[in-house]
């Protein structure tokens, strides 16, 4: 497509005190944290002094859609109003669809989350940003 581009990217190695690894093969039945998943969350909110909607998106480790959304809302867009999960599927979204999706692999690889007892999660800063045509 004309204009298809990247705005930024970053390597993801640690989220919410969990090491994130891409492992070859389908997910094993018994994992270190079988009930936890990595989630991509996109939130929107409003600043009463601005006409523009603000956004924050990122990754969280959680057990469910509701827990992922709650975790993101507790941490992001502080001081803004009407924080909400943005709809990424467009106007005709089916009600049974949810735009908060777990990231779990494709059968040829999977993500492995391993709890970490020490260290600090890195900031959400990009490793690269700009306008990179694809």
Measuring CA to CA, which residue among 103, 112, 116, 87 is closest to residue 16? 116
Q: Domain spans of the chain?
A: 5-133
CATH topology of domain 5-133: protein il1583 fold (3.50.100)
What percent of the chain has a predicted confidence (pLDDT) above 70?
A: 78
Query: What would the pLDDT profile of 88-117 be if each residue is shown by its tens digit?
Result: 322 223 334 345 556 666 677 788 889 999
pTM: 0.76
Helix (H) or strand (E) holding 2: none
Burial (CB count within 10 angstroms: exposed 0-12, middle 13-18, buried 19+), residue 50: exposed
CA distance 95 to 32: 33
86-to-71, 83, 122, 128 alpha-carbon distances in Å? 15, 9, 25, 25
């Amino acid at each position: 497509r004309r204009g298809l581009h990247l705005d930024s990217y970053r390597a993801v190695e640690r989220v919410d005190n969990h090491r994130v690894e891409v492992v070859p093969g389908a997910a094993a039945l018994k994992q270190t944290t079988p009930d936890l998943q990595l989630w991509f969350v996109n939130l929107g909110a409003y600043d009463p002094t601005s006409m523009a909607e603000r956004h924050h998106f990122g990754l969280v480790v959680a057990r469910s859609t509701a827990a992922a959304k709650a975790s993101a809302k507790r941490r992001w867009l502080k001081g803004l109003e009407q924080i909400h999960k943005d709809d990424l599927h467009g106007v005709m979204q089916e009600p049974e669809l949810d735009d908060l999706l777990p990231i779990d692999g494709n059968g040829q690889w999977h993500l492995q989350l391993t709890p970490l007892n020490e260290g600090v999660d890195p900031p959400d800063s990009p490793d690269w940003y700009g306008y990179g045509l694809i």
